[in-house]
Amino acid sequence: MTSRINWIGLWTLIQREVGRFFSVYRQTVLPGLISSTLYILVFGFTLQRRISEIDGVSYTLFIIPGLIMMNTLTNASANTSSSMLQMKLLQQLPDILTAPLSSLELSLAYIIGGTVRGTVNGILVMLLGMVLVGLPIQHPVLTIGFIILVSWCFASIGLLLGQLADTWDQLAMLNNFFLTPLSFLGGIFYSIKMLPDWAQTISFINPIYYMINGIRYATIGVYDSRPSVSFLMAALMTIIFTAAAMLLMRSGRKIKQ
């Protein structure tokens, strides 16, 4: 099985995807760090005067894991979705599709590229929190592993969206009306225990809530629901969306004109 994989072609495409976002780090890395710094300064230090603690930790510390996860998933999905859609619009996909690479290898290369970008951005925000407010990392290995897992999950989602979208407007609509609202309603700036019962029930339907809950446990040891459920949800979503993205790539729908 492994002998049939074009390792050289796979590695070349991975290098292309990783190098693509590193070469424009002013657009792919710095904005996340700047926005996270502003969130910490504006929301953290300001609102901490009114909300001193949540579950025994300062409000500023409480929001940083959510910011880590927000940067992780948005960058992971943005990398694969924008790369795929750009190649579709520039008519570069036929060249990739005629290369000696299977649909599995193509999918893996794009997903790994998005995973690297999401992981890098998540870890950089984590380091920013450690420098600015002394963010403690209760479970370092679990934290890094969970960031990688969520990055892979949302890189797969981004690849799926990039294949389905035909224009930048369609892609922006999917992000603005689904990904961004779900992120902010997932408990970045608050604990769902602060919400009324009906709102808590709705939060449990939001998949991004489990990502934020999991990273919050891994970093500062605080959680709203059982961490095991969050890790299971992340793993399940990763399997489902990875399979969906690969199957769509294999079918050629929306990419082979």
Rounded average pLDDT per 10-residue block, the chain, 257 residues: 71 88 86 89 78 83 93 93 86 74 88 95 95 92 96 95 88 83 86 88 92 95 93 96 92 68
Report the pLDDT value the prediction gives residue 22, as an integer from 0 to 100. 86
- CB-based contacts of 155, cutoff 8 Å, min separation 6: 76, 77, 79, 80, 110, 111, 112, 113, 114, 115, 117, 118
Residue 256 belongs to a domain: no
Write down the pLDDT at residue 257.
53
Q: Has this prediction a pTM greater than 0.85?
A: yes
Q: Which residue has the tokens 């890790």?
A: 231
Residue 257 in domain: no
Number of domains in the chain: 1
pLDDT of amino acid 256: 61
Please indicate, yes or no, if residue 157 is contained in any of the structural domains.
yes
- By residue range, what is the domain housing residue 77? 2-251
Write down the pLDDT at residue 32: 87
- What does pLDDT average to over the chain? 88
pLDDT of residue 2: 46
Q: 3-state class of 165 per DSSP? A: coil
- End-to-end alpha-carbon separation of the chain, Å? 30
The Cα-based distances of 186 to 33, 92, 195, 204, 237 in angstroms read 20, 37, 12, 9, 16
